[in-house]
A and B are shown apart, each in its own frame.
Chain A
C-alpha cells in the first residue's frame, strides 16, 4: 500500500514538473512580451534580450492606462462582448435544445448544412455584410457589429451546446415531466444547470472571439472613440511610423488579462456539480 502510494506520489511529482515546464515553454512568447512591456528601450527588438527587463519601468503601462484612450476602448469592448454573449446564448440554447431533443423534418439536413457553411472563406463576406447592414442603417452602429458577431458564432454555439445536450440522459427530463413541469421549466430548471459547462464554454468562446476580433471592428466602426480593444491595438501597431513596441506589448498584455481572469473564474463552474442530481449509471 505504501509502495503504491509512493509510486503515485512520484508520478504526481513528475506530472507537476511536466506541466510546469510545459506552461513555461508555452508562455515564452508571452513572457517576452511582458518583459518588453516593462522595458524602457524604444525597440521590441534587442540583441541582448533577457526575461528580466534591463531598465525596469512602468511607463508603458501608465501610457496604456491613462493615454491612448484604452479605457474607452475597454468600455466599448465590454459592452460589445457582454451583449454578444448574451444574445448568442439566448438564441443558441433554445435552438440547440430543439435540435437535440425534438425530431422534425429538415433537422438532419439543417445540421449538416450548418457545418458545411464553415467551408466558406470569410475574407469576402465583408462586402456582402456591408451590403446587408447598410439598408438597415447599422453601419457604424454597435448593434450591427453585435449581429455580425452573433451570426458568425451562431453555428458554433448551436452545434456546441447541442452536442452537450445530447449527452444529458432523457430520463432526467422524463422524471420532471411526470412531476408536471412544462417544456420551458424543464429546460431552465434541469437541462440548463446540467449543461452549464457547455454553456460556459460556448459563452467564453464567443467572448474571446469578440474580444480579439479586429477586422470587422476596424471596418464597420469609425473614429478612435468607437474602437474596441483589438481594433485599437491593431491601429497602434499598424502605423509603424509612430508605433511604440513597448507600449504595444503592454497593451497586448493588458488586453489579455481580463479574458484570463474570466477564464479562471469560469473554471470553477465548469467542473462543479456535473453529475449532481443526475441519474447514475
Chain B
C-alpha cells in the first residue's frame, strides 16, 4: 500500500517536473540569485571582483525606507485596492452582460473590447500620454476647449495623475479580467440556472448563489496574480508621469517607481538587490494575510 503511494507521488512529480523545472530556473533562481547579490558589494567599482559583505546592503537599504518610501507604500496600497475593486466589479458586470445569449453581436463586442490587450503595453501608454493627456494636443484638452473649459494639466498633480494612471491601468487590465470571468462563467452548467429560474430566483440571487461561488475558484489564481501585478505596477506610472526627461510634476509613486529612482539608478547591484528582496518580503507579508483570510472563508 505504501509502495503504491510512493509510486503515485513519483508519477505526480514526474508529470509536473517540466513545468516545475522551468519555474525553478526562470522564477526561483533569479530570486535566489538576487538574494545572493544582495549580500555582495557588486557595483560599478566592483563589477567582476565583488565580495560578500554580509547584510551591509540591508542596513543601508533601511535608509531608503524613509518617509518618501512610506508614502509610496501607502499610495501603492490605495492604488492596488482601488484598481482591483474597480477591475473586479466592472469586469464582472461586463462579463455577465456579455453572457446574455440573446445578445447576437456579443462576439464582436468581446473582440473589440479585447483590443487594448492586443497592443504592446508601452505603445498604449504612449498613445494615452500623447494622444489623450497631453496639455497641448491631447484629445481631452481639445474636448475641454470645445466645451468652453480651461485646458487642464492632467498629469501634473498627485490626485489627477493617480486617477489618470488608474484609468489607463483599467483600460489595459480589464480585457484580461473580462476574458477570465467570461471563460469562468461559461464553465457553469446551464442547468443550475434553469432550475434556479424554475424556483423563481431573480438576477441578484442567481448571481450571489450560483455565479459567484462557481467562478470564484476558477478566477482566484488570475485575480491573485493580477493583485501582484497591480501592486508591482511600474510601466503605467513610470511612463505616464515619471519617465526621465518627460516628468509631469506628479508626486505619485508606487513602491517600484520609488525604488527605481532611489536605488536602481545607482548601478549598485548589491544595494538594489537588497531593496528588491525587501519589497518581495513586504509583498509576501501582505499576501500571507490575504491568503489566511481566504482560508478562513472556506
A112 to B290, CA, bound (A): 12
Contact B19 A117 (CB under 8 A): no
Whether a CB of chain A sits under 8 angstroms from the CB of B221 is yes
B237: CB under 8 A from chain A? no
Asked if B179 CB lies within 8 Å of chain A CBs, one says: yes
Interfacial chain A residues near B27, Cβ < 8 Å: 117, 120, 125, 151-152, 154-155
Contact at A115–B122, with CB atoms within 8 Å?
no
A29 within 8 A of B: yes
A107 vs B5: C-alpha distance in the bound complex, in angstroms? 14
Q: Specify the chain A residue showing the minimal Cβ separation from B17.
A: A95
Contact B280 A121 (CB under 8 A): yes
Dominant SS among interface residues on chain B: helix
B130 A260 Cβ-Cβ under 8 A: no
Complex alpha-carbon distance, A132 and B33, angstroms: 10
Contact residues in A for B34 (Cβ distance below 8 Å): 120, 124-125, 127-128
Contact, CB under 8 Å: A233 / B287: no
Q: Chain A residues with Cβ under 8 A from B4's Cβ?
A: none
Name the residue of chain A whose CB is nearest to the CB of B179: A201
Please indicate the chain A residues that have their CB under 8 angstroms from the CB of B269 in the complex: 127
Which listed residue, B9, B280, B283, touches A104 by the CB 8 Å rule? B9
Question: B104 → chain A, closest Cβ, in Å?
Answer: 9
B19 near A120 (CB under 8 angstroms)? no
State whether the Cβ of A98 lies closer than 8 Å to any Cβ in chain B: yes
Q: Give residues of chain B (229-275) contacting chain A, Cβ–Cβ below 8 Å.
A: 229, 231-232, 234, 256, 259-260, 264, 269, 272-273
A101 → chain B closest CB, angstroms? 9
Which of chain B's residues have a CB closer than 8 A to the CB of A160? 180, 221-222
Shortest Cβ distance from residue B10 to the other chain A in the assembled complex, whole angstroms: 9
Contact pattern, A 101-128, Cβ under 8 Å of B = 1, otherwise 0: 0101101001010111111111111011
Q: Is the CB of A45 within 8 A of B130?
A: yes
Q: Decide if B16 is an interface residue (CB 8 Å cutoff).
A: yes
Q: How many residues of A contact B (CB 8 A)?
A: 100
Residues of A within 8 A of B109 (CB): 19, 22-23
- Known A12-B103, A95-B19, A280-B189; contact A267-B110, beta-carbon cutoff 8 A: yes
Contact of B29 among A114, A132, A157, A255 (CB under 8 A): A132
B115 touches A234 (CB 8 A): no
Complex Cα distance, B182 from A196, in Å, reads 14
B-chain residues with CB within 8 Å of residue A95 when the two chains form the complex: 15-20
Q: Verify B217–A26 contact, CB threshold 8 A.
A: no
> Does chain B have a CB within 8 A of A158?
yes
Query: By CB atoms of chain A within 10 A, which of B120, B234, B280 has the most?
Result: B120
* Chain B interface residue bracket vs A: 35 or more
Taking CB atoms and an 8 Å cut-off, the chain B residues in 194-252 that contact chain A are 214, 217-222, 224-225, 228-229, 231-232, 234
Decide: A110 near B20, CB < 8 A? Known: A30-B115, A121-B276: yes
Q: Which residues of A contact B191 (CB under 8 A)?
A: 280-281
Name A145-183 residues within 8 Å CB distance of B: 147-148, 150-152, 154-160, 162-164, 166-167
In contact, A115 and B225 (Cβ under 8 angstroms): yes
Within 8 A of B (CB), among A6-28: 8, 12, 15-16, 18-19, 22-23, 26-28
| B1-51 CB contacts (< 8 Å) to partner A | 8-9, 11-13, 15-20, 22-23, 25-31, 33-34, 37
Report the nearest A residue to B215, measured CB to CB.
Answer: A167
Closest to A115 in B: B224
> A53 in the interface, Cβ–Cβ < 8 Å?
no
Q: Is the CB of B111 within 8 A of A105?
A: no
Enumerate chain A interface residues (CB-CB to B < 8 A): 8, 12, 15-16, 18-19, 22-23, 26-30, 32-33, 36, 44-47, 49, 90-92, 94-99, 102, 104-105, 107, 110, 112, 114-125, 127-129, 131-132, 147-148, 150-152, 154-160, 162-164, 166-167, 197-198, 201, 204-205, 208, 211-212, 214, 230, 233-234, 237, 252, 255-257, 259-260, 263-264, 267-268, 270-271, 274-275, 278, 280-281
Given A22-B109, A98-B16, A150-B22, 6 more pairs with CB closer than 8 A: A123-B234, A124-B276, A151-B26, A154-B27, A164-B218, A267-B110
15 residue pairs from A and B, CB less than 8 Å apart: A32-B131, A95-B19, A95-B20, A98-B13, A115-B291, A118-B228, A119-B232, A120-B30, A147-B25, A150-B22, A159-B221, A163-B218, A167-B218, A201-B180, A267-B107
What 9 A-B pairs have minimum CB-CB distances, sorted nearest first? A151-B26, A159-B221, A128-B33, A119-B283, A128-B30, A95-B19, A125-B30, A95-B16, A45-B137
